[in-house]
């Protein structure tokens, strides 16, 4: 299909919630192809519809590594139905070129969605794998939430954003994740004692 322009952080469109897909139409099929083409062209792991200017609840992920065949996954109208644990994830985003920082993510997630044919499926991703983190990252995009809203060190993130010519962290949008932070601190202390 075509490689689309990816909206950059600072564009208000990225902060708006997306609408449910009511029918997996040709338009939605074309959107999926564009998402995949754009993600692969930019060497991304995932891409959500809002990032290319479409307010539909659709995202794509491919966590295959260099020596593995491509394994594109399509999520339409996803819902995270289970989440537990906590992990630190060093993340970036195609809407934040070259900007990476540490964020909090759930260690295990279970997602329910429709595939590219409109068939329902359930997928569980565990142990803080790239897939588990990518699902959460892309799912957030559908609600207008960005990875920096989960940042562990706002000041470090601001410095990285500034170095890359991007706006600072929006402190009004920071998500209070005290429970996850507590889990991370406890795990860190346990590992330090062993």
108 by DSSP, 3-state: which?
strand
What's the pLDDT score for residue 194?
47
Residue 119 lies in a domain: yes
What's the pLDDT score for residue 193?
53
End-to-end CA distance of the chain: 53
Contact 18, 55 (CB under 8 A): yes
Residue 133 lies in a domain: yes
Q: In terms of residue numbers, what domain contains 175? A: 12-193
CA 60 to mean position of chain CA atoms: 10
The count of structural domains within the chain is 1
What's the pLDDT score for residue 1?
66
pTM: 0.94
Residue 1 lies in a domain: no
Contact 154, 172 (CB under 8 A): no
Residue 183 lies in a domain: yes
Residue 4 lies in a domain: no
Residue 7 lies in a domain: no
Query: How many CA atoms does the CB half-sphere of 96 hold within 13 Å?
Result: 22
Q: Which of 68, 138, 172, 193 is catalytic?
A: 138
How far, in Å, CA of 44 to CA of 39, rounded? 5
How far, in Å, CA of 49 to CA of 75, rounded? 11
Residue 159 lies in a domain: yes
How far, in Å, CA of 31 to CA of 54, rounded? 8
Within the chain, what is the greatest distance between any pair of CA atoms?
56
Residue 76 lies in a domain: yes
Q: For residue 182, indicate whether it is catalytic.
A: no
Report residues of the chain scoring pLDDT below 50: 194
Eight-class DSSP state of 118 = S
For position 133, which CATH number holds? 3.90.45.10
Eight-class DSSP state of 4 = P
């Amino acid at each position: 299909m075509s490689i689309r322009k990816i909206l950059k952080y600072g564009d208000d469109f990225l902060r708006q919630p997306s609408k449910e897909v009511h029918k997996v139409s040709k338009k939605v099929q074309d959107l999926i192809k564009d998402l995949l083409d754009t993600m692969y062209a930019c060497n991304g792991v995932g891409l959500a519809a809002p990032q290319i200017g479409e307010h539909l609840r659709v995202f794509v992920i491919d966590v295959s590594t260099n020596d593995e065949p491509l394994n594109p996954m399509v999520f339409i109208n996803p819902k995270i139905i289970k989440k537990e644990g906590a992990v630190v994830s060093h993340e970036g985003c195609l809407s934040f070129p070259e900007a990476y920082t540490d964020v909090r993510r759930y260690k295990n997630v279970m997602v329910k969605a429709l595939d590219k044919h409109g068939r329902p499926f359930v997928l569980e991703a565990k142990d803080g794998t790239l897939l588990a983190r990518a699902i959460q990252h892309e799912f957030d995009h559908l609600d207008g939430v960005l990875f920096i809203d989960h940042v562990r060190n706002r000041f470090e993130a601001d410095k990285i954003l500034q170095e890359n010519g991007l706006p600072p962290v929006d402190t009004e949008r920071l998500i209070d994740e005290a429970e996850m932070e507590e889990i991370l601190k406890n795990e860190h202390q346990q590992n330090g004692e062993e």
